[in-house]
Amino acid sequence: MNKEVKSKPVKEDSKKETKLSKVDELKKDLDEAKNNYLRTLADFENFRTRNQKELFETRDRAVIDFVMDLLPAIDNFEMSLKMSDNKEMFIKGVEMIHKNLIDTLKEHHFEGFEPKLGENFDPYVHEPLLIEDNSKKAGQIVGIIKKGFKHKDKIIRPARVQVVKDKE
């Protein structure tokens, strides 16, 4: 009997050791998963911060490039103002500035557009300033106050127009 009693505790100890080693292994796996999670979280936060910094730098670079393209127009303004005594040269300078600004806008994919008189009002591209005019059809454009501007295909400023008011 003594032999059987001694052998049973050994088996129970072996089972306990197996259970303990399994628990230790699971704890180790959990710690490893936790560390991987924390590392991934830190990497993502670093990525997000770096990405945001690059976005701001890219935006700043684009603004600087645009302003650099506008500087010749400013130079032309300054030269034109120096020529204010000579009316003909002053007007020529202002015309050069206008052309320079329009060309710069075109280089950056900005384009002006102007509706035609008699065209129907479109709320997506026109900003109305209603007037009463009994001789024209309601919703018809009868005057242009400011031309509109678009960037590529997106309207950034609608054309400001005078539109015949509906009689009702």
Pairing label, strands 141-146, 126-131 = unpaired
122 and 141 share a domain?
Answer: yes
115 in the same domain as 100:
no
Same domain, 103 and 63: yes
Is residue 166 over pLDDT 60? yes
What is the sign, positive or negative, of the torsion defined by CA atoms of 27, 32, 33, 35?
positive
Domain with residue 128: its CATH number is 2.30.22.10
User: Residue 102 forms beta bridges with which residues?
Assistant: none
Q: Are residues 90 and 140 in the same domain?
A: no
Residue 13 confidence (pLDDT): 63
Same domain, 128 and 148: yes
Residue 16: pLDDT over 80:
no
For residues 141 and 119, the answer to whether their CB atoms sit within 8 Å is: yes
Last residue in a domain, options 62, 79, 108 = 108
Query: What is the total count of domains within the chain?
Result: 2
Return the minimum-mean-pLDDT range out of 3-7, 67-71, 137-141. Answer: 3-7
- On whether both 71 and 56 belong to a single domain, the answer is yes
| The overall pTM is greater than 0.85 | no
The whole domain housing 118 covers 111-168
